[in-house]
Every structure is written in C-alpha cells, then in structure tokens.
Structure 1
Amino acid sequence: MIETLRNAWKIPDIRKKIIFTLLMLLVIRLGSNIPVPYIDKEVVSQIFEVGQGSALQFLDMMAGGTISNFSIFALNIYPYITASIIMQLLTIAIPRLEEIAKEGEEGKKKINKYTRYGSVILAAVQAIGITMGFFNNALIAQGTLQTAIVIISLVAGTSFLVWLGDLITERGVGNGTSLIIFIGIVSGLPSTIARFIQLISVGAISIIKLIIFAIVAVIIIAIVVALQEGQRKIPVQYAKRVVGRKMYGGQSSHIPLKVLMAGVIPVIFSTSLLSFPQMISLFFTGGTAEWITKYLTVQGNVGVWIYSIINTVLIIFFTYFYTAIQFNTVEYSKNLQQYGGFIPGIRPGRPTSDYLNKVISRITFVGGISLALIASLPIILSRVFNLNIDFGGTAIIIVVGVALETIKQIESQMLMRNYKGFLK
C-alpha cells in the first residue's frame, strides 16, 4: 500500500488532486473553529455539560464538534443533503422536473441550482430554530440586526460548505459532500477515545463491555467492506455479426451488479432526515423537548427502539430508491439488445429487463437489510450495556464507506495510467 501511495504521488495530476482535497478539508476544520458573533461560549459549554448524553451530543458528533463550538459551520452540510432528498423525490413526482433532469448536463445544473436554493431555505429555518430556541440563553445580541448577523453567519457557513463540496468533487478526489461528513465524524474520534480512556481509568465503564463493543465495531467494518465489494455477475453473450469484411461479437462477458449500488448514501440520507426531530427538540424547552427526546431520539428509552425501526425502514427505502436511479434496467436491456448482447436463457428486450429487475431486487434487499442492521445494532448495544457511545454504527458505516469510495476513485485513476492500485 505504501508503494502504491508512492506511485500515486508520482503522478502530477493525481498528486495535485490529493493536495487540493487535503487543503479543502483543512479549510473546513479551520472554519469549524471560527465562532459565530454575539454568542456566549461559556453558556454554550454549560448547556453541553447539562445535556451530556442528549440528542445534542449526537448532532454535535455528526457535525464534527461545530455545534459545541457554535462555529459558522454549526449546521454542517445536512440542510443541503435534506434538500437533495426532497428534490430527488420531487423529480419523480413532478413531470416538469423529471423533464429537466433528463436534459443532460444543463438539466443537472438546473436541478443542482434548485437544490442549493432549498438548502439555503432549510439552513435559515434551522439557524433561526437553534439560535432563538435551545441556545437562546447564549444569545447576547442586542437588537434585530445583531440577531440577523448570527443567523446569516450560520446560513453562510452551510452555503460555503456546499461550495467547497462541489469544488472537491470537481477538482479533488472523492465525493465532496461525503468527505465533509467523513472529516467531521473522524475529527471527533480522538476526543471520544480519550473520554473513554478517562472513564475506564476511574472505573466508570467496564473495560469488558468496551472490548465487546470494539469487537462489534470491527465486525461492522468487515461487513461494510464485504457489502461494498460484493457483486453478482450476470453472464452476457454477444452474437456474431458481420460489418463489411469484419466480424464483430461472439465473445462472453458479464454484468457486475453490486450488492450495494447506493453505497453509504442511504445511511447519510436516513441520518439527515432523522436528525430533524433532534434538531426540532432544540427549538423548544420543557415538556415538548423532553417528549421529542424520549420518543424520537436514540437518547430516550422508548425512542431508541422507535429511532432504530424508522432508521431501518428509511435505509431500506433509500437503498432501493438510489439503486433505481443509478441502474435503469429498461434502458440497459435496450442497449444490450442494440449491441447484440443477451443473457443466456433469457429473451432480449422486456424479459431481460424483468430478469434484471428481479435480480437487483433480491440483492438490494440483502444489501439494504444488512446496512440497516449494522447501523442500528451498535445503538441498541450501547443502550443495553449503558456505554453512551455516540460513535455508533451509522458513523462507522459512513467513515468506512467514504474511505472505500475515495480509495476506489484513486484506484481507477491510477489504473488509467497502468499502475497497480490499492484494491486487487
């Protein structure tokens, strides 16, 4: 792997992309420590001390500690992800948006523009909620103008992250949005490890329980890698055809159908939607916030089960949804027939499309169920063993999945230059 990294580093354009990506991630981490004006940091710290183990801790972990710092990136990139989900659903529901989406690159640009507008609106709503709601006591702004500056700073921070994500995707390596979430989660890992070492040293947590959880985490990593790499190969035979004096076709090939075509997108989408009740709980105080925390978040005795069930359903739904967007069986079967290809034992055209649908439905179900179970299992185990671990299955899946996705992109770019890469 070290030799492969050296080879990648020797390629000028890949080296520039890696350096650019690292610099952008550094900018994100620096921005995560720029405070929003007119906010009392001592009051924010007190709120977090009182709310240990609450929904606030989970949101802060997923945001990379930006909420506890109340930095300009406190909302992270989740408003944009939520807006993307809404826009993709609207694209299916509204014919006009579907037509725009099919217009190629120009249509894609229009959809992205609408998504950005939606993310600004959602960011504004969330900014008003956390500023005037849960963190109202920390607000030291005097007058409407200063309060508006706080809200605008949060919205601008999210917009800046969206812009950086697009830059990373375009000029760097990996998916920019996924990498922003990745760096946010990973940045909180050292402090989480230090906290558990401290708790073990004072006897607050049993080391046996922690070891069991660590073993589960390793198993989850292995399963995620297996799901990402697993695929079903559908054999394809191409008929011989004569064009002029040359004969084409006659060779055998296969269609590689991945078990998890959607990657970690379903988990990111599900986490984004399920963070809404937790974010709403920050808008209120007293009985309403307690009810939301108890029944709709992982911190509640009842909520942990409701959260896990909804999380499972959403992950399975988005796995099917995103797979359907990525792989159109009707178009694929038409293209296969056009080039003289066919699946042995299956008639070309509609029967081929139906067969591919059947296969994809089965492997997607396995992938979706597996993804949902390993996302929910650590949450349930942490409640059973009373470990209060925020870095659960969802975070592990995102970190491992994004790392694999980024490595594969570097691998594909290296293979184009005849270098031996990371994955064999």
Structure 2
Amino acid sequence: MEKLPGPPPIPASLAALDDWSSGSEEEHRRKNEQTPLIRHTSRKSGSRKNAFRKPDGFTELSTISDCKTHSQSSWSDGEKRIGDDDDRSISTYSTTGESVASLKSLATVSLENFREGLSIPFTDEEGSYQKIARGLGSLSVLGTIIGLTMPKNQYLNGRWYPWYRVISSVIGYNYFVLWSICFYPQVLLNYRRKSTKGLSNDFAILNLMGWSFYSAYLISMYFDDEIKIMYQQRFNNESSTVQSNDVAFSVHAMVLSFIYVVQIIYYGDSWCSFRLKPLTWLLVLAMGFPSALVPCLIKLGYLPYSTWLDYFYALSFFKICCTLTKYSKQVMLNWKRKSTSGWNIWYNFLECSGGSLSMLQITLDSADMRDMTGITGNIAKFALGFATIFFDAIFFSQHYILYPNKRAGTQEEGVPILIKTPSIVRTRSRLDLSELNGVDVEA
C-alpha cells in the first residue's frame, strides 16, 4: 500500500524563529509588535476611517516547535477535508447506484407481476375473487396501451374534440381485449380435459352463427363506402359509430366460436355426438335460409339495391336472437346438471367487462356527437352488451350461489374432470366409485 507523504518542510524564513526560545518574554512581545500591519479603508456615511489589522490567518508562533505543530495541524486538517470530500462523493455515487438498482428491481417485479396477471385467465379454473381482480387489472392495462397507440376515430369531431378521441380509443380497445380473450379459457379448459362435457352443443352452434352474422354486419358498415352513404342518407348525414376494434373483435370471436364446434366434434369421436335440440334446428333454418336468399335476390334485381342496408341490419338482429337463445340453452343445462363444471366462469367475467365497456363507448360517442342516432343506428351493439350483462349475472349466481360445490374442479358424479377413467369403469355404470381405489387411472 502506498504511503501518504508527510508534512511539508518548514520554510527557511521560519527558521529564524528558533532564536526566540533564547529571548525573554519582553523581547518576544516586542518582536510580535513589529509584525507588519495591513491598512485598509472602511467607508461609512461618507467618512474615511483608518484601521489596522493583522493578515488573515496570522498565528503568533513563539517557538519553532509551535511552528511545527501548526504546520502538522494544517496538513492534517487538509487531509481531513479531502477525505470528507471523497467520502461525500463515494456516498453520492453509492446512493445513485442504489436508486438505479432499486428502480430496475421494481420494474422487473412489476413486469413479472403483469405477465402473471395476463396468464391468470388462461390457467385459473376456480375463479377466486383475488385472481379475477388481478387478471382483469392486467388485461385493462394491456387494453389501455393498445388504445393509446392505435389510430383514433376521425369521425369523432363533437364537442369534446380532440381529447375524447383518445378516451374513446382506450375504452374501445379495453372492451376489445377483455371480450376477445373471454373465448380462450373455455377452449383451453376443453383441451386440458379432452372433453366438452358441460358445454352445450346448442350454445356452440348458435354462438358460431351469431358471430358470423355480426361480423358481416360490422365489416360492411366499416369498409363498404356504399353502405356508409346509405347510412348517412337515412340518419341525417351522421356517421356510423362502428369502429375498427368492433370489426377486429367480431372476426376474432367468429374464429374462436368455430373452434368450439370443432372441439365438440373431435372430442365426441363422431358427428353423431353433435346433437341439437329441435328449437335450435328451427332457429338455424329460420335465420340461415333468408340470410343466404336475400343477397341472391338483390343481385338478380328482384329487390332494390338499397335493401343491402336493411339486410345487414337484419343480420345484426339475428345475432341478438342467437345470443338470447344460446345463453338460455347453457343456463338450462347448468340447471339440469345442478353444476357449472365444464363451464369456465372466466368467460362471463371477461364478457361482462367487455359488454359494459362496449355500452359505455357507444353512449359516450353519441353524447360527443350530440346525436342519439349513434345508438339507434347501431342498436345491435348496445343490445348485445345489455344481453350479455343480464345473462352473466345469472351465470354468476349459478357458479357462486346455487352450485358452489360443483364447479370446474369436479363433475356432477364427483369424479375429477382432469382424470380419465378406464374403459372397464365406463362400461359398468353401476360400479361404485370406491372400487377405483385399486384401479390405475390414466392421467
């Protein structure tokens, strides 16, 4: 380790002070009095006054030992001041480094919690209130980020322009994220169970038809310029409140609804497993036949061209009929089984949140434009949100109040849904479950 240098040598001019030790006190006092004085002038009220003072920092040194002591003390004080400055610099640097490290750690933990919150709807099957709040919060953050970055609706030029465009975009993409993701928990639950037991076939087929009708309606209202002109002519030159997030959501929902039907057929081993009630078949024919016939009649000239707008409005009302019927079928199935096993409650939480935000967006958009034709001209969106909230309340009561002991963890017979029973057990319907204790079950 390198040694610090010692105190500086005593100046030669101070060596003469060594002879002071041989003098008397009177001589010492006389020599001190002969020390040169500095003259300065002070001004006060215009008068000049002379005053004399010794140089700044002057210290009377009687002996050479006093001089050495003073020199060493000054050197020590200098080292101490330098050391204090270094300590303060190191302390400041350490504090800054600790702050940066704390911020990095906080960002890492927040990002990890955000990622875990996004995964909760896809992995949770119980639907506890804490997990639901965390999952919905994370998805809302994601929807807000998307809403802030996506293009805004250029037709919103009402009384709250321009800042309301941002709010409408944030609300719209929050509803898009929440309502779109609601389809995935049920798909993943069916995949993990390798079964669609608990999911109504009528619900699946009506769900697919409804979202197909709704997608055709929204795509035409958003992309077809001729349909837009027809809309403006009918509603006093007002623009439609259909937005890009509506179109993206409906197409996405149609694709996921098709996967529901594929899972029912695949896990049912044959088309025979896909059975529908007579009322469902009647609705399918009653809505499917005219939806295919009317476009042909318009193209052939048997119906006026302006019928296109009415045709797409009819498709939107078909969607509402499908929604009311499909939920009624699923509610009745849960009631007959006295259980909600096989039905993922996350579907309803996400759908209820998305439906509420959908109604809020269309209401605020109409208020911004000071015209309620935003609701009357897009009544399907408003009615769809209201219908989903109504039936979601019924599903919540079934899951948490009426059948709390028969949720997604067990089937109605008491057998865990994630356990596949052996074929010998399936063929003997009267076999007591106690006999399974000695049977090896396939996971």
Shorter-chain TM-score tier: under 0.3
Taking structure 1 as the reference length, the TM-score comes to 0.26
Higher relative contact order (CA 8 A, sep 6+): 1
Taking structure 2 as the reference length, the TM-score comes to 0.25
Larger radius of gyration: 2
